[in-house]
Structure 1
Amino acid sequence: MIAEPKPDPKLEPRRPTARCRLRSTAAALLLGMALAAGAEVPFWGERKTQAVDLAPDQLAHGQWVWSPQLAPSGPVLVFVDLQAQLAYVYRNALLIGYSTISSGRKGFETPTGVFHTLQKDRHHRSSIYNSAPMPYTQRLTWGGIALHAGGLPGYPSSHGCVHLPSAFAEQLFEASPMGMTVVVAKGAGIPPSGPVVPLLTTLDAKTGEPLAQPRLPAGDAYRVMPGPSEPQAPLALVVSLADARLLVLRAGVEIARSRIATTALPKVAGTHAYVALRDAAEPSLRWVGLAVPGHADAAGSVIDAQTLAAAQLPAEFLAQIQPMLHEGTTLVVTDAPVLAQTTGVMLTVLSNQPPMH
């Protein structure tokens, strides 16, 4: 019998020490995280906007509307209606976008209240749920509640965040400033201003409190109110053919309104936008049409002097408003109502958890 040679301890493979095993585990975790981070990010929802005249309650799952031309600048406010599973985006108090959403499911309900965005991260990934992608994150609480792109099955499905279509989330991310006001409420299917097409918001862009303006008294043709004093603040005019009113907004606050004669005005279907421009050879402003979703053919059209004269605005009102107008002022003409009493019951939103700053 041939004796087997005794193993040489110098040639024996060493068993990994606890430190080596720890390093190997950490390396595997880092590799897994790197692979997850490099994985393709899903795309949720429609890629293109719907027409601006499509009412919010007519949107299918994953659909959205984005028309920033209606208000190119001004304070931004987002209203999230958990009951209707819709989000509305206002700039300078005018609705520039709305979208279907998916909020927190049972046991992970999205909290209601008035929040301000605390952090923005274009390529955020969850630190809790297996590095799940959360593109275009806008954090509302440090506890993990945020607006971001995510799944949209047509019902609440998230762990508390508000999921948005990917393309819409990107547009909102680009347009919204840090500290933007976000109001989350269990509404009755309509935002606080309540119109069928909610063109205006009556919420203060900083506090989320209602800013309802009473109707004009029966004997008054117009009203001019104190507003933001900055002369270069964004100015917008809104003509509602349904209510026969002209409203003037500055920095998200209504500063004037007037009755107008609509019988002589051309009939308008839907919502159209114009911008004030000035030619070097022409001292007066021209109102030039903008291409909003669903009305691309209106781009470049001009409202002539005869049409403007047909509105028959009070001379005293015009004398106070005309000095405020400048290049870049927007004019929105719509067949939708804008007066709160015409369009719905006011909703007061209460915050049981003050926003963290």
Structure 2
Amino acid sequence: MTTASLAALVQRVRGAACLLLLAATLPAAAAEPVLAPGQYLWTPELAPSGPVVVVVSLPEQLAHVYRNGVRIGVSTVSTGMPGHETPTGVFTILEKRREHYSNLYDAAPMPFMQRLTWDGIALHAGKLPGYPASHGCVRLPYRFSELLFATTARGMTVVIADATSHMPAVTYPGWFAPVAPGTGQPRPVAAAMATGAYRWQPELAPAGPLTVVLSLGDGELAVLRQGVEIGRAPVQWQGPAYSGTRAWVLLEGDGTGASSVAPDRPARRWMEATASGAPADAVVAAVRAGKLQLPPAFAAALYDALAPGATLVVTGDSLGLNPSAQAAAGDDITVLEAEPATSVQPAGD
């Protein structure tokens, strides 16, 4: 056995060991993807910094991209055809090349190649017919592959999941990363909170940027650091109904007056990061008017943990919805089309 083959075998065994095999029956809520072949969503402003992890779902034929624990992208893919199935497990990005040509299939082009194994499995741009059609690689829309290439780094974790060897939460992931960024191990499902209770565990991830996700649909607020959820609390919202998703970034310095959620502390200064979506003026005005209420102790702890660069995401969606359910619920994030067929490079896998 060659060194390269041995390394590939070790990597696959590592993946199998890290994930829970022969998981429970898939949830009934799993739905067909709503993105057409070649379409993708890309909203990096929802989490501008933090660790990145990619989860490829073979049943969905989708790739989910998470940064700091929050999904910033989802794209249609085409994986291995019968007889050339894409291997499942936990992989790391071994090599990156903007221009690459297949060593196995007539030097076919593989733009924005990100190698997962030394025996030929990679992420790269290619044709997406709407079903598994590659020789084992994960094909991506050309523009999405370029965006992803600029976001990832060598050594980053990529999980490829299927319905027979992975937990349902990994096979059909949602808003938050279902796996740990560094290892690809599935995260434990947090216990339900009692009415009015909250969780605050900053020791789970002591350092790094914060991403705060407020779901006005769920009436919950979740706090993530380095991809780890460190807090969650119920919210009372007395403002207007809201749909869509917007993001703000915390600036340095204090604002005018007192904080509306932690009244004994000065207001913070926030800059909106999103440039499109549902109008947010009414929501901002309602928050300033005190119509958003958190448990006081939780609000104080969160306030003290915030630092410039933290991100606040406000959404009308449920935090647990998958992409299909989000679209059905009226998610208005722009769906980006693939480039015309003439500009999409052929697959090289």
Into which bin does the TM-score normalised by the smaller protein fall? 0.7 to 0.9
Give the Cα separation in 1 of the matches to 2:131 and 2:171: 24
Give the Cα separation in 1 of the matches to 2:279 and 2:292: 24
Give the Cα separation in 2 of the matches to 1:178 and 1:309: 45
CA pair 280-260 structure 1, distance change in 2 beyond 3 A: closer
Give the Cα separation in 2 of the matches to 1:266 and 1:162: 42
Please, which runs of 5 or more residues in structure 2 have no aligned partner? 1-30, 257-265, 326-349
CA contact (8 A) 1:249 1:255 kept: yes
**Is structure 2 residue 263 aligned with structure 1 residue 286?**
no
Q: CA deviation at 1:333?
A: 1.3
| Of 231, 245, 248, the match for 1:274 | 248
CA pair 95-308 structure 1, distance change in 2 beyond 3 A: farther
Which TM-score applies when normalising by structure 1?
0.72
Which TM-score applies when normalising by structure 2?
0.73
How many pairs were matched up? 281
The residue number in structure 2 matching 1:46 is: none
| Of 177, 181, 184, the match for 1:205 | 181
Give the Cα separation in 1 of the matches to 2:162 and 2:90: 12
The residue number in structure 1 matching 2:307 is: 326
Give the aligned residue type for 1:332.
V
Higher-RCO chain (CA-CA 8 Å, sequence separation at least 6): 2
CA pair 228-149 structure 1, distance change in 2 beyond 3 A: same
The residue number in structure 1 matching 2:57 is: 81
Q: CA deviation at 1:288?
A: 2.9
The residue number in structure 2 matching 1:338 is: 319
CA contact (8 A) 2:254 2:268 kept: no
SS of residue paired to 1:316: helix
Q: CA deviation at 1:286?
A: 2.5
CA pair 168-82 structure 1, distance change in 2 beyond 3 A: same
The residue number in structure 1 matching 2:229 is: 254
CA contact (8 A) 2:247 2:312 kept: yes
The residue number in structure 2 matching 1:229 is: 206
Between 161-170 and 173-182, the greater mean CA deviation after superposition: 173-182
Give the Cα separation in 2 of the matches to 1:271 and 1:182: 26
CA pair 308-209 structure 1, distance change in 2 beyond 3 A: farther
| Of 126, 133, 157, the match for 1:150 | 126
CA pair 218-334 structure 1, distance change in 2 beyond 3 A: same
SS of residue paired to 2:293: coil
Give the Cα separation in 2 of the matches to 1:227 and 1:266: 34
Q: CA deviation at 1:128?
A: 1.7
Please, which runs of 5 or more residues in structure 1 have no aligned partner? 1-54, 345-357
Give the Cα separation in 1 of the matches to 2:250 and 2:289: 13
What's the CA shift string for 1:90-147, capped at 9, x where partnerless? 1111010011111011111100111111111111111221211101111000010000
What's the CA shift string for 1:304-353, capped at 9, x where partnerless? 4744732211111122111111222111111222259xx99xxxxxxxxx
Q: CA deviation at 1:193?
A: 8.4
Give the Cα separation in 1 of the matches to 2:71 and 2:171: 11
Give the Cα separation in 2 of the matches to 1:276 and 1:237: 11
CA contact (8 A) 2:62 2:76 kept: yes
| Of 268, 274, 277, the match for 1:295 | 277
CA contact (8 A) 2:114 2:122 kept: yes
Between 320-329 and 170-179, the greater mean CA deviation after superposition: 320-329
The residue number in structure 1 matching 2:140 is: 164
Flag the structure with larger Rg.
1
Q: CA RMSD in A?
A: 2.8
Q: CA deviation at 1:240?
A: 1.3
What's the CA shift string for 1:186-236, capped at 9, x where partnerless? 1499753857xx221231111112223424432552111122222xx1110
SS of residue paired to 2:54: strand
Give the Cα separation in 2 of the matches to 1:56 and 1:120: 31
Q: CA deviation at 1:290?
A: 2.4
Give the aligned residue type for 2:232.
R
SS of residue paired to 1:167: helix
Q: How does 1:55-66 map to 2 (within 5 A)?
A: 57-66=33-42
Q: CA deviation at 1:178?
A: 1.1
Give the aligned residue type for 1:174.
A
Give the aligned residue type for 1:240.
S
Give the Cα separation in 2 of the matches to 1:93 and 1:252: 4
Give the aligned residue type for 2:137.
C
Between 101-110 and 320-329, the greater mean CA deviation after superposition: 320-329
The residue number in structure 1 matching 2:328 is: none
CA contact (8 A) 2:59 2:171 kept: no
Q: CA deviation at 1:281?
A: 7.0
